[in-house]
Structure 1
Amino acid sequence: MDVLYSFIGVNKKLDRLARDITFTQSINLVTTLSNEHNNSILDRFCLLILQRIQHNIECLTLNSLSVDRVLRTGNYSRLHKLSLVNLPIEMACRIFNDESSLVYIISHQITHLIVTINMDNIAEDILEMFKNVFTNIFRMFRNLIDFNYSWYSDLSYSAKAFIDLPFRPFYASNISCLNVRLNDLNDCICLLNGHLSQLHTFIVEIDWIRKTSVALNNKEIVPNLKCFSLISFRQTIEYDAKIVPLLRHMSKLEKLTLSLIVDRRNSFIDGNHLVNDILSKMLDLHTFIFNIITDRVIIEEEFLPTSDYILRPLIEKGYNAECYTDYSPMNNSQCHIYSLPFTFERMHMLTNKGGDPKTMNFSTI
C-alpha cells in the first residue's frame, strides 16, 4: 500500500506501474493505518487510488479504522479473500449481523475469511456476542472454504471467551479449512458430526476436554479430513475415553498435531501407546507433531521407564522426539514427551522438584 500511495499521481509511468495487477491484487491497510491520525492517508487512498484499482483486488486486509470506508468506496468484483483484524466486538456484531451491511453484500464471493476480535471485556453479554458473530458468519458466507476465527485480549486468559456452540446445524458445508477456538469437546464433535462434509483441515484449540453430552456419529464423521490439530492447555482425565476414540475415527489423516496435558492416567503416554493405539490406525499419516504431558501417574520410582523405552517406538518409526520423567515420593509421577523441532508457541514444564509448574512462551518467527 505504501508503494501505491507514493507512486500514483507522480507521473504517468509510475501511475501505470502502481495500477499494475501485480501490485494491486493484495492490499493490506493494517500496517499502514495503525492509528486514527492516518485518516488523511486513508482519505487519499480511497479518493485517488482505490477507484483505479478496485477491479484488480483479490485480497483485502482491513482493521477497524478502514473496514467501513474501504468497503463502502469500492466495487470489488474479484475479491475472494477478506481479513478483518482487531475488530471491537461491537463492530463485529454490526458487520456480521445486518443483511444490509457492506460485508453481507460481498459475502457470496468470499471463499477465504479471517476474523480476529479485540476482546477488552469478558462480561457474559460480550461473550454471547462473540459466539453469535461466529454462528452468523457461517450463515452469511455460504461459499466459504477457509475460515479462521480468533480473538486478542490484554486481559488475563479466560476460558469463558471460547465459543460454546448451539446444538443445531447452521454450517456452511463447503468449508475445507477451519481454524477456531472452542469451549469444550462437545463443540468439536458437533462440528465433526457430518455438517462439514468437505472439511480437509481442522485446527482447534479447546479449553475443556471433559465428559461430553454429544455422541460421535460413526457414520457421519468428516470423511475427507486430512489434517487435524488439537491443542488444550488444561488438564483432562478424558484422554482414553474421548480423545483416543475420536482419533481412531480419523484413519485417513496425513498430518496430526496434538498438545495435551493428561491427568491421572494409569500409565504414561509413551511411544508404545502412540504408535500402537493411534499411529498404526493412520496408514496415510506422514507428519506427527506432539507435545504431551502425563501428570499424576501412580508408579514406584524403581519402575519409572527410561527415556529409551519411552522414545524407541517413535524413533523406529522415523520420528525425532525427546522426553523427560519426574518422580515424587507421593507417587505423583510425570512424563513429558514432545516432537523435535519444537514448534508450539508454549511449553509447560512440570516438575516435582520444587516450585510451581512453569510455562515457557515462544514467539513465532
Structure 2
Amino acid sequence: MNQSNIHLVDLPDEILLMILKKLDNINVLYLLMGVIDEQFDILLRDNIFTDTLNFISRSSTNDDISSIDHRIINRFCFDILPKIHHNVKHLILEPMFMERILIAGNYPNLTSLTLFNFGKHSALNYFTDKSILQHIFKCQITELILENTDNSAYVDDEILSEKYNKNAYKSILTLFKNLQSLSIVGSSINSYPPLSILDLPSTIICSSNLTKLCIYVDSLDDCLYLLDGHLKQLTIFIVQIDYIHNDLSIVHNTNDLLNLKCFSLTCYNLTNAYDNQVISLFRRMKNLEKLTLYIRLKDRSSFVDGTHLHKESLMHMSQLHTFTFYISTMIEINDSIHRVSENYIQKTFENIGYYQTSCTVNYYRRFKAICHVFSLPFKFDRLEMITDRFPTIIFHHVTYLLVFDTVQFKHHFFIRIAKAFPLLKHLTISNRTLLFIDLNKYEADYIQSYAIIQFSHLISLNLMVVNKYYVEHFLLNRKTHVPRLIQLELFYSHLKNVTKNFTRDSTRHNCANIKRLNFYDACHYPTKFSHYFPVLDTVSCSNLI
C-alpha cells in the first residue's frame, strides 16, 4: 500500500489554526516563525498568536516566577518581534528584559503591560521621564499590572514608607498618564509596602481616565482619600488596607459614590473600627452591584450576623447582586452574654436570601469567643485563627492558614487540614499551651499508626508553639511529607532537640530543601548545621510576640 508524506503546511489554514492555537503561542512562534515559508509566517501573524506575548515561566517546584529561557528571548528580539510588533497588544514580562523587548519594535497597538518581579528599583530605572520607553508608558499603556516583590516584612533604611512612596508610587502615578486600569498586587503573603497618601503630593492622585484600581494602602485614610473625588471615573475599586483605625487624620468627602459598581475590601489585621468607619463607607455606595469583604473584627459586644449586615449595609445597596464575604468576629464574653450557635448565625443569613454560607463559632479560654462566617464557595486565599472545629468543606483557594487552639492538635486534625486545604502553601500553628508529652514514648520513627500526611504544596511552616511536639510531628518523614518546604520558623531549642543535635536521619529528609530558617530564641548552631540543611541560604532570629 502506497503511503504519501503529508506535511504540516499541506493542511488547510483552518485546520492549522485549530491545531496551533491549542499550543503555547510563544513556543509556536519560536519554533516555526521564519522556518517554513513566507505564507506560513503570514498565518503565524494571526492575532491568536500575537495579541498577547507571555515571556514568563512559573517553576513547577516552588512557584517562583522568572523569565523564559534567554535563548528564546534572544530569538524573539532579533527575528520575531520585528515581524509581529504591530500586532502585539499585551506584553507579560520581567523588568530586566522590558527595555530590550520594547526596543525590538514600535508596538503601535500595545496598550496592556504586565510586569512580574517588579520592585522599587524597577520604577527608579524605567519609570522616569528620561527613559527611552517613556512615550509608550505615557501615551499608549491603558492597563498596567504589577506584581510587586518588595517585601514589607523586611523594612530597612532602603524601604522606609516615605522613601518607598516617593520612589515607587510617585514614579508610576506621574508617568502613566493614560491609565484606565492599574493593579498592583503582592507576590507573597508578606505584602509589598503600602501606598501612603501622606507621603505624596496631593496632585499626584488625580485621574479622569482611571476606571479600575487594585491597590494596597496603609490606612483607611488612604482608601477614603482615593474615593474623595480624585478618581472621578472609578467604577471598580479593589483595596487591601493594612490597618483600619477609628481615628482619621484627614477630613474626607462624604458624598455618595454613585459611579462605583464593584468594591472589594480586604483587611487582614484585626480592627475595632468596623461599626464607626466601614459601615458609613458602605452606605455611600448606593449603586454598588458587586461587594467583596474580608475583615477580622474585635472589641464588639456581639458577632456580626446576617441581620446586622442587612440592616446596616446591604439594604442601602439596591443594585447589589453579588456579595462575597468572610467576616471573623472576636468578642469577650461572660455569664450574662447569651451564647449563640452556628445554626443561629447561618439562619440570619438565610433570612436575607444568602443560603450558601458556612459558619463556625468557638468559645475558648472561658471568656473569649470567635465566629467565622463566610459565603460559599470560599473565594479567599487566606484564613486565620481556625481551631480544631471547622466545616467539612474543601477550601480550594486557601494558600495561607493559621490554626489556633488551647488544646493539643492530634494527628487526625492535620489529616483533615491536608484534605481540606489541598493548595496550602503557608501554615502557621499557634498553640501556647504547654503539652506534657513524653517524646521518648512518641518514637514515631518506628511506629506508624497513621498514614503519612502529604502537604504537597507547603513552602512555609511557622511553629509558634511552646512545645516541640509539633516540630516532631512535621519533621518526621514517617508522619509528614513536605517535599517543597523552603522556610521554617520555630524555636532553635526545639529544632536541636527533635533532630537530636542535627544527627537524626528520620527528620533530615523534610529539612533537605529548607532555604530560610528563623528562630524565636538564641541561635548558636554547630558546624554540622549546614550539612543538615544543604541548601540553606538565610538564618535569622526574631522575638515571638
- TM-score under structure 2 normalisation? 0.61
Alignment partner of 1:125 is 2:158: yes
Aligned counterpart, 1:343: 379
| Secondary structure of the corresponding residue to residue 294 of structure 2 | strand
Within 5 Å, give how 1:235-274 maps onto structure 2: 235-274=270-309
Q: Which amino acid aligns with 2:134?
A: Y
- The CA distance in 2 between the partners of 1:103 and 1:82, in whole Å, is 13
SS in 2 for 1:193: coil
Contact 1:71 1:102 in 2 (8 A): no
- Match of 1:347, SS state, is strand
Query: Distance between the aligned counterparts of 2:313 and 2:370, measured in 1?
Result: 21
Q: Matched residues in 1 for 2:322 and 2:385: separation?
A: 24
For 2:332 and 2:134, the matched residues in 1 are separated by: 52
SS of the counterpart of 1:84?
Answer: strand
Is the CA contact (8 Å cut-off) linking 1:173 and 1:197 kept in structure 2?
Answer: yes
Deviation at 1:106, TM superposition (A): 0.7
Q: Which position in structure 2 is the counterpart of 1:2?
A: 27
1:104 aligns with 2:129: no
Which of residues 75, 78, 85 in structure 2 aligns to 1:54? 85
The structural deviation recorded for 1:184 is: 1.0
| 1:79 and 2:84 are equivalent in the alignment | no
Q: Distance in 2 between matches of 1:264 and 1:184?
A: 19
The correspondence of residues 15-26 of structure 1 with structure 2, limited to 5 A, is: 15-26=41-52
Percent identical among aligned pairs is 34
Secondary structure, aligned partner of 1:309: helix
CA RMSD of aligned residues (A): 2.8
Aligned residue pair count? 359
- Output the amino acid matched with 1:343: K
CA contact (8 A) 2:55 2:67 kept: no
Q: Which amino acid aligns with 2:131?
A: S
Call closer, same or farther: CA 1:172–1:31 in 2, change over 3 Å. same
Alignment of 1:199-210 (within 5 A): 199-210=234-245
**Which residue is equivalent to 2:353?**
318
User: Which residues of structure 1 form unaligned runs of 5+?
Assistant: none
Distance verdict in 2 for CA 1:32–1:265, change over 3 Å: closer
Distance 1:103 1:230, change over 3 A: farther
| Matching of residues 22-41 of structure 1 within 5 Å | 22-31=48-57, 38-41=69-72
Match of 1:165 in 2: 197
SS of 2:302 mapped into structure 1: coil
| Pair 81,329 (structure 1): closer, same or farther in 2 beyond 3 Å | closer
Secondary structure of the residue that 1:264 maps to in structure 2? strand
TM-score, reference length from structure 1: 0.89
Offset from partner CA, 1:180-212 (integer Å, 9 cap, x none): 111111110111111011111111111111122
What secondary structure does 1:275 align onto? helix
Cα shift readout 1:298-337 (whole Å, capped 9, x = no counterpart): 3537711223332223213321111122224642222211
Contact 2:301 2:331 (C-alpha < 8 Å) held by counterparts: no
Q: Greater relative contact order (Cα 8 A, min sep 6): structure 1 or 2? A: 1
Alignment match, 1:354: 406
- Structure 2: stretches of 5+ with no match in the other structure: 1-25, 60-64, 388-403, 425-545
Q: Deviations over 1:218-243 (max 9, x none)?
A: 23x54310111111111111111111
Following the alignment from structure 2 to structure 1, what is the Cα–Cα distance between the partners of residues 89 and 365? 62
